[in-house]
């Protein structure tokens, strides 16, 4: 265990600060090597600061499907648009 890695082998806050403050390619080798291979630390590194950036959170969330009624509303809306388009084509084509 080093000051940059905890008992689990993941980066500590000091490790994140060291990697984040270093210029590209010049960070601590041990911390950078771990960050390159650990998806948990990558997620935590990208979500640092407590706010979501581009939908990335420190802890992964579970995706939830939209409610079924909303899917029905979208399908009915698309069918209504198709019906309006067919009526407009018939009107614009004129008498046959």
Strand partners, 56: 53
Can you tell me the distance from the alpha carbon of 13 to that of 7, in angstroms, rounded to the nearest whole number? 13
Rounded-to-integer distance, Cα 52 and Cα 56, Å = 5
Above pLDDT 90, what percent of the chain?
A: 28
Q: Give φ, ψ of 56 to 5 degrees.
A: -95, 125
Ordered by start, the domain boundaries in the chain are 1-62, 65-96
Summarize pLDDT for 15-44 with one digit per residue, the tens. Answer: 888 888 888 888 888 888 888 888 888 888
pLDDT score, position 57: 64
Tokens of 14: 């000091």
Three-state SS letters, 31-78: HHHHHHHCHHHHHHHHCCCCCCECCECCCCCCCCCCCHHHHHHHHHHH
Contact 19, 35 (CB under 8 A): yes
């Amino acid at each position: 265990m080093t000051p940059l890695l905890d008992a689990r082998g993941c980066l500590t806050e000091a490790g994140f600060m060291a990697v984040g403050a270093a210029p590209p390619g010049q960070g601590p080798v041990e911390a950078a090597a771990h960050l390159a291979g650990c998806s948990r630390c990558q997620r935590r590194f990208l979500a640092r600061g407590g706010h979501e950036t581009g939908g990335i959170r420190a802890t992964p969330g579970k995706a939830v499907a939209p409610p079924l009624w909303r899917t029905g509303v979208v399908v009915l809306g698309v069918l209504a648009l198709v019906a309006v388009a067919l009526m407009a084509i018939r009107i614009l084509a004129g008498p046959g």
